[in-house]
Structure 1
Amino acid sequence: MIHQPTRLRIMTLLVSVPQLDHLAYGFIQQTLDLTGGNLTIHLRKLEAAGYLEITKEFQGSKPRTWIQATATGRRAYADYLSNLEKALGLHIPK
């Protein structure tokens, strides 16, 4: 699931923030230079896998969408990196 390049970039961005923080949809879209449709498709797949949570709310009259990595998503990301390190024979300090 995470190995797909766009989903890997999304998860890398999400796990780079503290565990209880979230990122705005627009920030992710702009940072990763993705179209709205492309980002939405990948977010839905990651959400279906339980790797992230999507929260929608209004700030005043503006709708906001927030994305947050779940504990399951953070574990899956860490496991993915660990397996990649093993496959490549690398040791990357944490």
Structure 2
Amino acid sequence: MRLDDNFASPIRFSLMASLGDDMELDFGTLADILQVGDSALSKAISHLQITGYVAVRKGFAASRPRTWVRSTIAGQKAFAGHLQALRAIVELGGQQMP
């Protein structure tokens, strides 16, 4: 496996880590979890949506507009591959220690 440049941004990486498999979170909850501003989160979501790694659903909750985000199967596979590549790097580095 190789590293996926789409997860090079700490916000995009953390966003995918927060979503997990079959989990949908609303924009406000994601902003709180990731401790980022609306603009930075919006850009990260847009980037991952263009790549097909997340799906966005808009609707209303208690008559207020809401945006929900969910990882796609392609996104879950790509993120799992990215994590596997990171683990391989860590293992390789650990083998170099005396």
Structure 1 and Structure 2 fold alike (TM over 0.5): yes
| Cα separation, 2, equivalents of 1:6 and 1:34 | 8
Report the equivalent of 2:45.
43
CA root-mean-square deviation: 1.2
Distance 1:67 1:87 in 2: 30
**Structure 1 unaligned residues grouped into runs of 5+:** none
Alignment of 1:58-69 (within 5 A): 58-69=60-71
Q: 2: distance between equivalents of 1:89 and 1:29?
A: 32
In structure 1, distance between residues paired with 2:61 and 2:12: 28
Which residue of structure 1 lines up, in the alignment, with residue 12 of structure 2? Answer: 7
Q: Which has the higher helix share?
A: 2
- CA deviation string 1:49-93 (max 9, x = no partner): 100001000124211110000000100110001011112217xxx
Q: Which has the higher contact order (CA 8 A, sep 6+)?
A: 2
Superposition map of 1:50-89 within 5 A:
50-89=52-91
Tell me the matched-pair count.
Answer: 87
Which TM-score applies when normalising by structure 2? 0.83
* TM-score normalised by the chain length of structure 1: 0.86
Identity across the alignment (%): 29
Partner deviation per Cα, 1:26-70 (whole Å, 9 max, x = no partner): 000011111100100010000001000010001242111100000
Deviates more, 1:70-79 or 1:52-61: 52-61
